[in-house]
Chains A and B, each alone.
Chain A
Amino acid sequence: MIFIMAWRNIWRNKMRSIVIILSIAIGLFAGIAVLALYKGMMKSRVRTVIDAEVGHLQIHDTSFKKDYEPQFVISNGADLLKNISSMPEVKLAAPRSITNGMLATATGSSGVQINGVIPALEYEASQLKKKIIEGNEFYPAKKNEVIVGKKLAGKMKLKVGSKLVLTFTDTSGNIVSGAFRVAAVYQSDNAPLDERNVYVTMNDMNALLGISNAFHELVVLLKNDEDVKTVQQTLRKKFPAYQIETWREISPETDLLVKTVDQYSYIIMVIIMLALAFGIINTMLMAILERTREIGMMMALGTNKIRIFSLVLMETIFLTLAGTPVGILIGWLAANYYNRRGLNLSGMGREMMSSFGFNPLIYPEFPADKLMGVLLIVVITAIVSCLFPAMKALKLQPVEALRL
């Protein structure tokens, strides 16, 4: 009976209840929208890290990553490449020769990481070809072509066709340098990376380094994201001499970012609910105040405090939960709509987004995995918000309430 009373009581002041139910629906929608946006951003960030930056796995000589010294190569590169490329889980393996060096023009110089790549493989592994915004891909017949990032090009005043000199040490410690011509300028979603990385062909690079049939890094792309751990284990067994890392280990900041953002999204949800709690408390207080005589009468007749409390609690929970399905539904519809269409946030500034490594076109995704957490927060909000109004109700003295 208390249950029926609670439900009907909500509809006594329809306008007021609808306002609070709607605000909960909107608050929940806002929360879900933020979660969906975050989820979309994180997914796209992870995709970028895997598809355009580090790949699923990378293989290096165990000493290479300490100082990027050129002598720590993976020798017998061709065999390894063939071996790994033929694994069933592997979509693609792309080798890179890497060294740190100096890029110099007539007007200035800048420290860069020089990546010697096999163009056809690199275009697949890091989408290099797609990132080109000016100029053309490596022209097979030409030697000493370089592709530079937009940020670096701007800083060094480089254009397609500009000449520059790359200087670095070879495997025996001699300083070598080569004159290169800018073939293209690229831009990725990650501006800091663009500023550091330049690409040349592995042939040109290995010739200067003095190595052959060897490279420093092998990027492995898998067919399925889920296979990362198992393939890593298989490779570790097969090639114990090499350092084999997953993208999480290579880019721990991405992993951390995803985890931090997960926590933030709950915090945002709690803040939204906290704001709503005041509205709920206010509504319930008004409802109790209006019904002072009625509650006094119920107590006079012998309704005990537990029942009065459950009445207030249930009313609050109904009031809170009534808006929940609506909010979740709108959130779900909006998330799905933009998931298909994509949400362009370049209004916030492409520069800003890309300095954090994000693509401004986001595909929000309904945070189904967080739904239980969100519901829990909503229910806790209801319970907490009912406490104060319930205390007010329980403090009523029947004699005084009835005299009013």
Chain B
Amino acid sequence: MNTVIDAHNISKVYNPETIPVYAVNNVHLHLERGEFTALVGPSGSGKTTLLNMIGGLDKPDGGNIFINGNDITKLSANELIDFRLKNIGFVFQSFNLIPVLTAKENVEFIMQLQKIKQSERDERIKQLFQQIGLEDKLNERPSKLSGGQQQRVAVARALASKPQFVLADEPTANLDTKSASNLLDIMAKLNKEENITFLFSTHDQRVIDRARRVITLVDGRIVKDTAVVSTEHKEAATIR
């Protein structure tokens, strides 16, 4: 197995001068390729903050984050933009897609930014839309898609560049149960079949149940890190 994410001792403090809020407090996090991991915790526990730092959207106030061996805390803002483009797939809670572009164009846009050749793009788009089951919605604008369909397109876009891993901050928060489970099916399938690494935060117990590892945050600290050995047994092993 090889390490994809290796975060050392990272912290994020808001309002350090007035009333300091330790959104993330001395967190160590280690993720191997092919993991399907959920980040859980009460509201305000620091899930979003942690994911943003790992995704290079936010800088930690202390600690280092190695992605594939590169310390991204050392990169400049402009280098980070390029780094995100080439290495990380993002799925946000909502408002994922560019409304003036069709589903296909949304995925293609990112691939264009990555300078992928037209022929390769077409092929990959075909394959991705098959995997998310939206071959018939290629040319629809996001406003014509359901919330679940939009999130599936977002997953397709996150995968377009074959990233190191996909970060998803509460991807099912705005979805009904059926769409949520459908999205999780697709993510799990991609994880299994293409060995894509997923790290997602969630509140939803049904989503948590699908994860193979569950990391629990409280007040910016990891309080529990549980590996589900197999879904059949649901036998949990506490690491920390």
A interface, CB within 8 angstroms of B: 1, 4-5, 8-9, 12, 293-294, 297-305, 307, 398-399, 402-403
Contacts and interface: CB of A to CB of B under 8 A. Distances in A.
Greatest chain B CB density within 10 A among A1, A301, A303, A305 is at A301
A199 to B, nearest CB: 74
B98 interface: yes
B109 A1 contact: yes
Contact of A294 (B48, B95, B105, B109): B95
A301 B85 contact: yes
Given A300-B84, A301-B90, A294 B98 contact: yes
B46 to A, nearest CB: 13
A294 B55 CA distance: 18
A304 B99 contact: no
Contact of A303 (B55, B100, B113): B113
* Across the A-B interface, the 6 shortest Cβ-Cβ residue pairs: A302-B85, A8-B100, A302-B84, A399-B58, A399-B57, A1-B109
Interface string B47-64: 010001001011000000
B108 A1 contact: yes
A43 B85 CA distance: 61
B112 A1 contact: yes
B152 to A, nearest CB: 17
A167 B211 CA distance: 117
A394 to B, nearest CB: 11
18 contacts: A1-B108, A5-B98, A5-B100, A5-B109, A12-B99, A294-B98, A297-B96, A297-B98, A300-B55, A300-B57, A300-B92, A301-B110, A303-B113, A304-B82, A305-B78, A305-B81, A402-B57, A402-B92
A4 B84 CA distance: 24
A297 B92 contact: yes
A403 B85 CA distance: 20
Contacts of B8: none
A398 B96 contact: no
User: DSSP class of B's interface residues: helix, strand, loop or mixed?
Assistant: helix
Given A1-B112, A5-B101, A303-B81, A293 B57 contact: no
B137 interface: no
A9 B113 contact: no
User: DSSP class of A's interface residues: helix, strand, loop or mixed?
Assistant: helix
Given A297-B92, A399-B57, A302 B99 contact: no
Contacts of B48: 403
A270 to B, nearest CB: 33
Interface of B: 48, 52, 55, 57-58, 78, 81-86, 90, 92, 95-96, 98-101, 105, 108-110, 112-113, 157
Contacts of A293: 95
A5 B110 CA distance: 13
Given A1-B109, A12-B100, A297 B95 contact: yes
Given A301-B84, A302-B81, 14 more contacts: A1-B101, A1-B105, A1-B108, A1-B109, A297-B96, A300-B57, A300-B84, A301-B85, A302-B84, A302-B113, A303-B85, A303-B113, A399-B58, A403-B48
B113 A307 contact: yes
B98 A300 contact: no
B81 A304 contact: yes
A299 B100 CA distance: 16
Contacts of B55: 300
A12 B101 CA distance: 12
Nearest to A291: B99
Given A302-B85, A305-B78, A399-B52, A294 B99 contact: yes
Contacts of A4: 100-101, 105
Nearest to B87: A302
B55 to A, nearest CB: 8
B117 to A, nearest CB: 15
A299 B96 CA distance: 12
Contacts of A301: 84-85, 90, 110, 113, 157
Contacts of B82: 302, 304
Contacts of A398: 57
Contacts of B90: 300-301
Contacts of B96: 297
A304 B80 CA distance: 10
B58 A302 contact: no
Nearest to B112: A1
Contacts of B95: 293-294, 297
A303 B157 CA distance: 14
